Chain A
Amino acid sequence: MEVGYYPGCALKAHATGLEYGTSIEAALGALGFELKEVPDWNCCGASAGHMTNTALTRALNVRNLALAEAAGLGEVLAPCPLCTKELALAHHEVKEHPDLLAQAQEAAEMVYRCTVQPITLIELLHRHRDLIGERAAGKLPAVKVACYYGCLHTRPPEVMTFDDTEQPTTMDEVCRILGLAPVEWTHKTECCGAGFTMSKPTVVARLTGRILAAASRAGAEAFIVACPMCHANLDMRQGEAAADAGLPEDFHMPVLYLAQVLGLALGLEPAALKLDNHFVDTTDLVARLRGETVAATTPEGE
């Protein structure tokens, strides 16, 4: 199966979401997908672009879409939801408004016929859940996980339509097929603070802290995410966030990408999924997920 692939800045090279990109390429490859990267893709205009110049952001994305179209790609997987949102929003706007299309085409110096559909990883996997079921049903133990969608997967609601805006369930469904035990919880789509992680880390600590507390109240042992920004805040800022929320000092909740658990269920090695690249230690969790018995360790023993 061929699917277009727009990795965006976050998934490549030395970026924040390198583990996400690596694990997607590995897991989807193992599942039988052939990822066709959009040739010569450019930035989606995220954060900096869309806040300052919407026409520029639209043109950037129309160029990406036009490149995908020219390469014969009908659907383009954009695993970072900010990319998906920017691409889908541009597609949605120019499809409805010929004047915006003309403006964007002129800026991009390309023609776009509005035939490309950008999709998220959750949507792609949910749509192919039968295939996942055939290949990996119940391969993982029933570890209690909190599926955290973040703010972007279902917003804006008129563009991101694959799931319910406030109480999405598609990622939970995919995880359940793999054998995991997703918990019912309250903060699936609450904001993690996103880009404030650079400018106002205290805000991020407060918002992310609430999410940690909510997942912990629901009894979750790990987070499953599908957004590099969410991952960064939950993983990298976990210490400050847990402190802000008044959680115990030894609070520790591994944050895994959806593609990483899919890869494990398909029998891939943790290193191939870059599971060793996270701030919050995943060793014990990965061992459990792989069905290995974990040696009982006590703090005193260390």
Chain B
Amino acid sequence: MSRIGVFICHCGENIGSVVDCPRAAQTLATHPGVVYSTDYKYMCSDPGQNLIKDAIEKHKLTGVVVAACSPRMHEPTFRNAVAEKGLNPFLCEMANVREHCSWVHTDKEEATQKAIELIRLMVEKVKNNEKLQPIHVPITKRALVIGAGIAGIQAALDIANAGHEVVLVEREASVGGHMLQLSETFPTLDCSQCILTPRMVEVARHKKIKLYTWSEVDAVDGYIGNFEVTVRMKPRSVDLAKCTGCGSCWQKCPSRAIPSEFNAGLSVPDPENPKKRLGYRTAIYTPSPQAVPNKPVIDREHCLHFTKGKCGVCAKVCPTKAVDYEQKEELVKEKVGAVVVATGYQVWSVAKAAADYPYIGYGEYGYGAHPDIIDGLQFERLLSASGPTGGKVRRPSDGKEPETVVFLSCVGSRDNEKGFTYCSKICCMYLAKHAMLYKHKVHDGQAYNFYMDLRAGGKTYDEFSRRTIEEDDCVYLRGRVSRIYPRDGKLVVQGADTLSNAQVEIEADLVVLATAMIAQPDAEALAQKLRVAYDKDRFFSEAHPKLRPVESQTAGIFFAGACQGPKDIPEAVAQASGAASKVVALLNADELEREPVVASVHRAPPPVYSTCFGCFFCERICPYGAIEREEIRDRKGNLIKTVAKVNEGLCGGCGLCAAACRAHAITLKGFNDEQLYAVVNALGEE
């Protein structure tokens, strides 16, 4: 005979102000099988939990129902409490009388009735609950980090320095990401490359880090503690083991006018030779002078050997015979226990339209139509010592030093009509930095900045942007620009100054658009591979916006950096270290305890073996890929039948298979038919 205890929580005013908790407790006390029923102001508090523990001892309870908030909130609290008194934690259930009752109702009488009914249903369920034992899963003590920008590098180093192996996968030919492209960083004007390159070198040399560059993650199978990752190594056409990085190949490569990704497509006329432009790359190239590994890759779309079947100069000049035109794509499997996603962002190219890049806007700004209208990342390249001009500010059209530069904030950010609703967060600060650095390099130049609001939240950020205005005389104009067009060798910027309520027309030599920071174009595809959620702007969604900011909804997968939302460098690094500490905590355990709420397929002794008849409908609908096939054989080894089997490590406990099984051969533990019938039958009983 069941001996159930019922504990009703007021949750302060949350439940108590709508549901008459003492009356509900009295009513439940008379319910068959209930031997103890009480209410308390905060059941999750220590005294509240002690109330439950004492009652288990005193009344020899065989089951507990806590009527309180959602089980998502406090189920672990109460299950741990009952476990302390030796009761199997799965004999404790919660009735949600807050989210499902008091928060959504106002009529006290009806809400109390509903609460009583909800509690009664759970009492009937608990009477049929079974003792379940947690599942123990072994953990592969290695981590995968996807993306080797600053966030990925930081996460990989932190995990590796804590003693765990890391597989770091980067799709470009070098690690470093966007940070390597930047000139100096706000608010301290640290040289971006100088602070980044030591980390890049460290990540490549670290004994615990296995680095894949020019590679992508093709598939992630498995589950927390036991992921199997397929890494696709794209053909680099250069044997990394033989290549010494001497540079003979790209110095001799005849294809010399290819826009460089590292220079964000920017090129500037060569002052020595007006017919030549600086900033291009060759077909065999290392992405940047500080590339890690500092070894080239062949861009097969532009290489004459691949496009025309001619040439072969690089193979001829290579002293170590490292160039390999025949190199094929390779798939490698890696086993890991945890995954950090650090795939970063892109700068919105408002002028670029492509099949896989549906975003285009701001035709009135002429970006892409005029060479002297550039984006923020391109201006970084103009300022950078490793850029096309060696850090001199020059116009892309004619190589002249611009006397007037206009900066535009929020091109695509905070623009519901034409771009994205969100704030890209970094632009106010980097435009302040741009204007300041421009003034440092061109002393008699004049910078203007059109802005919507100046957002400088961050340690010493506001002081920095004030410096741009007060010391470097950048004119800040609050308002939007309606059109930019060329006139007599200048760019006319037509806009509004909403503070003085005037129309403004500025003749500029160079215009810089702070285009929005957007998610990677293939973020959706990656999210689907990883089974993690993403938001309307394709940034990955964290498990909880405040309390679980680095975790995904999928156990064992964590986020770092701008793939989760616009971030500056310090924030990306902080999040990366946070994700790394989560991974280290996970990998430090020898095995993982999982909730035993999983499906199981019927098994019986001969001659039945199993009521499963092997239709494998369950296999098709399981979202976790947890259904396996098991062959049942007799003692002589003859195959009797093939039946379904649940991989408990993969099973997410959703119950789809149990509902779909035509033979009723699948049961979801903790939610079996008897339990659910008991709940349904209790509905409407008085």
Contacts and interface: CB of A to CB of B under 8 A. Distances in A.
Instruction: Decide whether A and B are members of one complex.
Output: yes
Interface of A: 157, 164-167, 184, 186-187, 189-190, 213-214, 217
B34 to A, nearest CB: 52
Contacts of B363: 164-167
Contact of A214 (B364, B366, B417, B485): B485
Interface in B364-393: 364, 366, 369
Given A186-B486, A213-B487, A214-B487, 17 more contacts: A157-B417, A164-B363, A166-B361, A166-B362, A166-B363, A167-B363, A184-B369, A186-B366, A186-B483, A186-B485, A187-B483, A187-B485, A189-B364, A190-B483, A214-B485, A217-B487, A217-B488
Contacts of A186: 366, 483, 485-486
Chain A interface mostly: loop
Contacts of A157: 417
B485 to A, nearest CB: 3
A167 B488 CA distance: 21
A165 B364 CA distance: 9
Contacts of B486: 186
Contacts of B483: 186-187, 190
Interface core residue of B362, B369, B483 (most chain A CB under 10 Å): B483
Nearest to B364: A166
A217 B364 CA distance: 17
Interface in B603-627: none
Nearest to B351: A167
Contacts of A190: 483
Interface residues of B, number: 12
Nearest to A157: B417
A164 B353 CA distance: 13
B191 to A, nearest CB: 38
Interface in B340-363: 361-363
A166 B364 CA distance: 5
Nearest to B492: A186
A256 B81 CA distance: 85
Nearest to A190: B483
16 contacts: A164-B363, A166-B361, A166-B362, A166-B363, A166-B364, A167-B363, A184-B369, A186-B483, A186-B485, A187-B483, A189-B364, A190-B483, A213-B487, A214-B485, A214-B487, A217-B487
Contacts of B366: 186
A164 B363 CA distance: 8
Chain B CB within 10 Å — which of A157, A184, A187, A214 has the most? A214
Most buried by A among B362, B364, B486, B488: B364
Interface of B: 361-364, 366, 369, 417, 483, 485-488
Contacts of A189: 364
B580 to A, nearest CB: 45
Contacts of A167: 363-364
Nearest to A210: B494
Nearest to A167: B363
A140 to B, nearest CB: 27
B640 to A, nearest CB: 62
A165 B369 CA distance: 16
Nearest to A164: B363
Nearest to B484: A186
Contacts of A217: 487-488
Interface centre among A164, A165, A186 (most CB of B within 10 A): A186
Contacts of A184: 369
A166 B350 CA distance: 13
A47 B362 CA distance: 27
Contacts of B362: 166
Nearest to A156: B417
B334 to A, nearest CB: 46
A166 B368 CA distance: 14
A190 to B, nearest CB: 7
Contacts of A165: 363
Contacts of A187: 483, 485
Contacts of B487: 213-214, 217
A184 B370 CA distance: 12
A272 B488 CA distance: 41
Contacts of A166: 361-364
Nearest to B370: A186
Contacts of B364: 166-167, 189
A78 to B, nearest CB: 25
A213 B488 CA distance: 11
A153 B148 CA distance: 47
B412 to A, nearest CB: 14
A186 B487 CA distance: 10
Nearest to B417: A157
A214 B364 CA distance: 14
Contacts of B361: 166
A58 B364 CA distance: 30
A190 B366 CA distance: 14
Contacts of A213: 487
A281 to B, nearest CB: 27
A165 B417 CA distance: 11
A213 B492 CA distance: 13
A165 B350 CA distance: 14
A10 B417 CA distance: 32
B365 to A, nearest CB: 8
A187 B366 CA distance: 11
Nearest to B482: A190
Contacts of A214: 485, 487
Nearest to B365: A166
A214 B488 CA distance: 11
A189 B417 CA distance: 17
A74 to B, nearest CB: 30
A186 B482 CA distance: 12
A91 B488 CA distance: 44
Question: Which of B361, B362, B363, B369 gathers most chain A CB within 10 Å?
Answer: B363
A173 to B, nearest CB: 16
Q: Which 3 A-B pairs have the closest CB atoms?
A: A166-B363, A167-B363, A186-B485
A245 to B, nearest CB: 11
Contacts of B485: 186-187, 214
A241 B364 CA distance: 22
A55 to B, nearest CB: 25
B411 to A, nearest CB: 13
A165 B483 CA distance: 13
